[in-house]
Amino acid sequence: MTVAVPKIGSRVRVTTMYPNTYAYRGEDNNYVTYTREGIVVKSIFRDPFMFAVETGAPEHPVSEFNAKSLHVVKIEVLKGSSTQVATDGKAWKVKSSKGNKFYIVERLNGKFSCTCTGFEFRKDCKHIGAVAKKVA
């Protein structure tokens, strides 16, 4: 599995999605979307998946992003290019208990994460439990 990380000097538009913590209702997904656009500069973090975007916004001139974060839903390279960075990650599609939607359970560096709202609040959920049991 690889993740595309935009190169320094590229112009990108990054879309992130975070659960709206004020509207948690069980498994209902309720997300807030943010978009940042600017030039990729060197990240202050020593992590090959991290990149920083100089947006020029007065209050927050540089935003740091993790290309493999589940919250980073879209990275559009408007000018320039990106590098494919290998991960030890693996992902599974898990059906919700009602069977009407899917969640993505991801394992990265031995740690599990899930796209459901329950995971956001408890850092654990039944979807991860189901996958962990299967791969154990």
Q: Label residue 59 left, alpha or beta by phi (over 0 means left) and psi (-120 to 50 means alpha).
A: alpha
Sites of contact with Zn ion (CB under 5 A): 103, 114, 116, 119, 125, 127
Residue whose CB is less far from Zn ion, 46 or 98: 98
Q: How far is the CB of 116 from Zn ion (least distance, A)?
A: 3
Residue closer to Zn ion by CB (options 39, 94) is 94
Q: How many angstroms separate the most distant Cα atoms in the chain?
A: 48
From the CB of 1, what's the least distance to Zn ion, in Å? 19
For residues 31 and 42, give the distance between their C-alpha atoms in angstroms, rounded to a whole number. 29
Going edge to edge, which strands form the sheet with 50-54? 62-66, 50-54, 31-41, 11-19, 72-79
C-alpha to C-alpha distance for 79 and 3, rounded to whole angstroms:
18
Strand partners, 18: 32
| Cβ 26 to Zn ion shortest distance, Å | 12
Q: C-beta of 28: minimal distance to Zn ion in Å? A: 13
Closer by beta carbon to Zn ion, 65 or else 119: 119
d(CA 48, CA 46): 7
When the beta carbons of 8 and 132 are compared against Zn ion, the nearer one is 132
